[in-house]
């Protein structure tokens, strides 16, 4: 085994509702959707109309800023609906499946002799190019700017996250093929981050440069892994790919067709029986999140369904669709209530990162947390707290303040190129001032793109 990178900073949140290793083959959704909102910075231009027939891999819309980048249908069928919001903003393209799973046949080059342009062309035409994310800034990768390296995280350390070694059983060859595809896109290395104490499917992907990590969340975040393997400096460009998306890319170059099948987990404190489910990406949430499997909220405020993890996921309704980059659904109780003198009560059922509650005596206890903020926003007065939970060579407090102030020079100096909002999600969780840290980082990144592009 290679050298183990040990991380001491961070926090494992023992959230109730961890999925058991039980895989259910989904019966399938009647409709599937592709939502432009899943893709940062994309301004969509439609290529289809309601009633059009499509196959898996047929283009639905493209990015106005870069017409090469297509977004394609995950299934075959008919365009059932074009959903729009305020000012006719495109929310999603809904495809009613015909159940036939017909796909566009793409001409796949021989990887041994293929050029970078050949591989890029297939990924663009198939709609799988958006699976490749560029850092800094976390946008879809720029075709014209080759990265110094490509990174894949082989484990997820977020609360109730899926075990990728379980989710990717039987996908070793597709993963290896995906790595070979990525090698065609860079002159550098393809790095694979693995959890040190576990052995599984991803350890057998031996054609990537393997690195082993040990420590609490966010050890599984690819941004944290990059900072310890090959940090991003000003002028550097690196790309990242999710492990399940890597298998989908490998599948395309094996079969010649787009197959968006992946394994997700339904988890969280409000799930009666947490489990794994095999679905096609973009499935309608209500098709696999069954009301009968959701516990009622004892306080009567309903539940919140999140596409992604509880720290950095996006709230969705049952009529919306699984996020393009999401591998889990988390269900939490809504916390629209106030506790009288709650701060002076023993509160054994509340998680605290300090010694404010007696819960610190039970570090391994699982907690059924809800969405209650336990207080309102206030001035940022605590220093040194956030730094305990960010295992990167940055000063998160000063970086967030620079983002709030819109000071580009200080943002650059303090590490804005190295982070995405998810990397500082724990700061949101532990902050007694209720600061929207992830929002501040996102605003800072948007400002950098606006001013420096």
> pLDDT tens digits, residue range 91-143?
999 999 998 989 999 999 999 999 999 999 999 999 999 999 999 999 999 99
- What residue ranges in 123-282 does DSSP mark as E strands? 132-135, 139-140, 150-153, 190-195, 209-214, 238-241, 261-267, 275-280
Helix/strand/coil for 257: coil
Place of tokens 């039970």: 362
| Predicted structure pTM score | 0.95
Beta-strand relationship, 275-280 and 23-25: parallel
Comparing CA positions, the residue from 369, 365, 348, 366 lying closest to residue 357 is 348
According to the model, what pLDDT value does residue 345 have?
Answer: 67
According to the model, what pLDDT value does residue 374 have?
Answer: 79
129 Cβ neighbours under 8 A, 6+ residues apart: 68, 69, 70, 120, 123, 140, 141, 143
Distance in Å from the first CA to the final CA of the chain: 42
According to the model, what pLDDT value does residue 365 have?
Answer: 83
According to the model, what pLDDT value does residue 410 have?
Answer: 97
According to the model, what pLDDT value does residue 354 have?
Answer: 78
58 Cβ neighbours under 8 A, 6+ residues apart: 48, 72, 73, 104
Residues 330 and 308 sit within 8 Å (Cβ to Cβ) = yes
Residues 190 and 219 sit within 8 Å (Cβ to Cβ) = no
Residues 306 and 331 sit within 8 Å (Cβ to Cβ) = yes
**Strands of 77-84's sheet in order across:** 31-34, 90-97, 77-84, 53-54
Domain ranges of the chain: 4-255, 261-361, 386-452
According to the model, what pLDDT value does residue 358 have?
Answer: 73
Residues 125, 47: Cα–Cα separation, whole Å:
14
Residues of the chain with pLDDT under 70: 1, 341-348
According to the model, what pLDDT value does residue 25 have?
Answer: 82
Residues 325, 71: Cα–Cα separation, whole Å:
13
Residues 135 and 240 sit within 8 Å (Cβ to Cβ) = yes
CATH code linked to domain 261-361: 3.10.20
Cα separation values, 278 from 208, 312, 335, 341, 352, Å: 26, 22, 31, 45, 35
| Alpha-carbon torsion (12, 14, 17, 23), positive or negative | positive
- What residue ranges in 215-268 does DSSP mark as E strands? 238-241, 261-267
């Amino acid at each position: 085994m290679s050298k183990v990178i040990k991380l001491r900073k961070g926090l494992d949140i023992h959230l109730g509702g961890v999925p058991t290793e039980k895989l259910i083959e989904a019966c399938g959704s009647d409709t599937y959707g592709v939502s432009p909102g899943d893709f940062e910075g994309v301004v969509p231009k439609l290529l289809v109309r309601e009633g059009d027939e499509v196959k898996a891999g047929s283009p639905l819309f493209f990015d106005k800023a870069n017409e090469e980048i297509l977004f394609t249908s995950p299934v075959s069928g008919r365009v059932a609906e074009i959903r729009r919001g305020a000012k006719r903003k495109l929310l999603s393209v809904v495809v009613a499946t015909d159940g036939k799973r017909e796909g566009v046949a793409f001409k796949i080059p021989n990887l041994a002799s293929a050029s970078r342009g050949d591989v890029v062309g297939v990924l663009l035409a198939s709609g799988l190019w958006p699976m490749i994310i560029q850092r800094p800034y976390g946008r879809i990768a720029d075709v014209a700017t080759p990265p110094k390296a490509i990174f894949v995280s082989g484990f997820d350390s977020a609360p109730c996250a899926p075990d990728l070694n379980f989710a990717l059983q039987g996908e070793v060859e597709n993963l290896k093929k995906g790595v070979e595809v990525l090698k065609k896109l860079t002159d550098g290395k393809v790095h694979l981050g693995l959890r040190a104490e576990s052995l599984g499917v991803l350890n057998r992907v031996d054609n990537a440069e393997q690195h082993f990590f040990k420590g609490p969340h966010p050890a599984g975040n690819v941004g944290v892994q990059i900072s310890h393997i090959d940090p991003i400096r000003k002028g550097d460009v690196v790309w990242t790919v999710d492990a399940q998306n890597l298998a989908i890319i490998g599948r395309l170059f094996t079969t010649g067709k787009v197959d968006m099948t992946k394994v997700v987990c339904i988890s969280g404190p409000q799930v009666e029986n947490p489990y794994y489910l095999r679905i096609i990406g973009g499935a309608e949430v209500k098709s696999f999140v069954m009301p009968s499997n959701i516990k009622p909220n004892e306080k009567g405020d309903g539940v919140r369904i999140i596409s992604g993890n509880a720290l950095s996921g996006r709230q969705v309704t049952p009529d919306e669709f699984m996020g393009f980059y999401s591998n889990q659904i988390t269900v939490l109780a809504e916390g629209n209530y106030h506790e009288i003198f709650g701060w002076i009560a023993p509160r054994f059922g509340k998680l605290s990162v300090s010694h404010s509650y007696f819960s610190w005596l039970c570090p391994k206890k699982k907690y059924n947390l809800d969405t209650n903020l336990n207080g309102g926003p206030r001035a940022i007065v605590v220093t040194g707290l956030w730094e305990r939970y960010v295992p990167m060579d940055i000063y998160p407090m000063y970086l967030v303040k620079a983002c709030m102030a819109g000071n580009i020079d200080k943002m650059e100096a303090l590490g804005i190129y190295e982070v995405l909002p998810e990397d500082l999600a724990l700061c949101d969780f532990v902050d007694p001032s209720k600061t929207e840290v992830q929002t501040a980082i996102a605003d800072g990144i948007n400002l950098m793109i606006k001013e420096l592009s």
